[in-house]
Amino acid sequence: MNFNSLPSDPDALLGGVCPDPHSQESEAQPAKRSRRIRYWIFICILALVLSPTVSVLVGLNFHARDFSYTGAESEYPGRQILLEAILISADPKLGTLTLDWNVMGEANSSCSKENLTTCSDVGIFFDNNLLRMDKDSGSGPILNNRPTQPIFIFNATAKAVADIMVNTPTFRTPLALFSPLESPSSLIYYPFDRYTAEIFIFAQDMGTNETVGVSLGKTRGIAVGFKTSAAPRLNVDIPPGTIDIIVTLQRGNLVKTYSIVATIAIWLVTLILLLVMITSVFFGFRQKGEVLVVPVATLFAFVTLRQSMPGAPEGFGDIIGMHFVSFTVMYATHRTLDFTGILPCLALLALSAAFTLGAFVLTDPTDQTLPMTWDAIYDTFPHRKHHQVPTVSRSGSPQADT
């Protein structure tokens, strides 16, 4: 047998049965990298398209709607004054709900340009104790008697003859905001605070003191940051021709969502930076200097982010975050803890900033010899570490043993 004729290459001797695992691994790396880049491009394009689209759709469909009231038709058979209510603003800090009122005209009335003798003036009365009017301290005590001074007198004759020289038939009322039963009516409950206001209106003929009906013909307007709902007052006997409405204000869904998401993000960033500080300062693992100074900048950024929350009270003291947790778990309970959102995060960030700055003053955290890597973590938990050793099966195809 001529051994000199045998090839010297072992791979040629085995007929290609034993492939080189290192060459296969090097060939698989470019394919894996290309596939990962394609996925990255696809995800980036998808995020660029979906993020603004979803945000715009959510903003258009879930923003606060116009103030609306769909009460029952007035059953008053006589002369009526038609009013339009325009919601201007709501200020929980001052406890006021501002409405503009326009006199649209009359219904079931014989007052006209040809019959001016029936066009008597009409006084429109509000419940004075439901208003936030500026009262002189020397005007006497506050009473719960029937109002005797109208808040507005409607000149029906000027309306009938269309006299443009008279004042516009419009007036403004600052209604008082009250606390509904078992509802969080305080800024400390932001963004879950809730308020109510009551509108009570009646009208009289200024000459005969006869009752004139009042009807709410149209409502509109938005209080920024609030959604409003109006309904007739329940469990009371409302005389025909009288308006008695309960207006409920609460934060809009977008305001609640933004506040919750911002608070969760603040907590996540705080916890991550806290772990970075503990890893570098207390356990001596090497860390980049740029990362260690992030808590100092974040400390001021969080204050600005908190101020950007729509309608958030000045200073600190609301219960953002914890109320959402208890509301979800305990369903409509308001026994929540205060100072569970921004203030704990600011305290933790202040400690992180102090320790990292101290580490820079006393030592150099970037000079540590021991970096925190995934291999070090795997070595700590060896039973979690998987090794793949490529082998060759009897059929000649490569096979990985785990």
Q: Region 272-280: what's the mean pLDDT?
A: 86
Q: CA 116 → CA 123, 157, 219, 400, distances in Å?
A: 18, 6, 30, 103
What is the rounded CA–CA span in Å between residue 86 and residue 83?
A: 10
What is the rounded CA–CA span in Å between residue 199 and residue 261?
A: 36
Backbone angles phi, psi at 366, to 5 degrees: -80, -10
User: Do 356 and 293 meet the contact criterion of CB atoms below 8 Å apart?
Assistant: yes
User: Do 200 and 67 meet the contact criterion of CB atoms below 8 Å apart?
Assistant: no
pLDDT at 155: 94
- Coil, helix or strand at residue 80: strand
Confidence of residue 130 (pLDDT cuts 50, 70, 90): very high
Instruction: Write out the DSSP string of 125-182.
Output: EE-GGGB-----TTS-----SPP-S-SEEE-HHHHHHT-TTSPPSEEEEEEEPBPPTT
Residue for token digits 């010297």?
8
pLDDT at 393: 45
Q: Mind spelling out the 3-state secondary structure of 219-231?
A: EEECCCCEEEEEE
User: Do 150 and 121 meet the contact criterion of CB atoms below 8 Å apart?
Assistant: no
Least confident of 19-33, 139-153, 182-196, 276-290: 19-33
Residue for token digits 């704990």?
344
Amino acid at 284: G
pLDDT at 172: 95
Say whether pLDDT at 11 is over 80: no
pLDDT tens-digit readout, 217-264: 899 999 888 989 899 988 888 888 899 999 999 988 888 888 888 888
Q: Distance between alpha carbon 131 and the CA centroid of its chain, in Å?
A: 29
Say whether pLDDT at 376 is over 90: no
Tokens of 16: 């290609």
Q: What is the average pLDDT value for the chain, to the nearest integer? A: 78
Report the share of the chain in percent with pLDDT over 90: 28
Please tell me the chain's helix, strand, coil percentages from 3-state DSSP, rounded to the nearest 5: 40, 25, 40
Q: Mind spelling out the 3-state secondary structure of 3-67?
A: HHHCCCCHHHHCCCCCCCHHHHHHHHHHHHHHHHHHHHHHHHHHHHHHHHHHHHHHHHHHCCCCC
- Coil, helix or strand at residue 278: helix
> Kind and range of the H or E element at 326?
helix 322-330
User: Which range is most confident: 40-49, 222-231, 346-355?
Assistant: 40-49
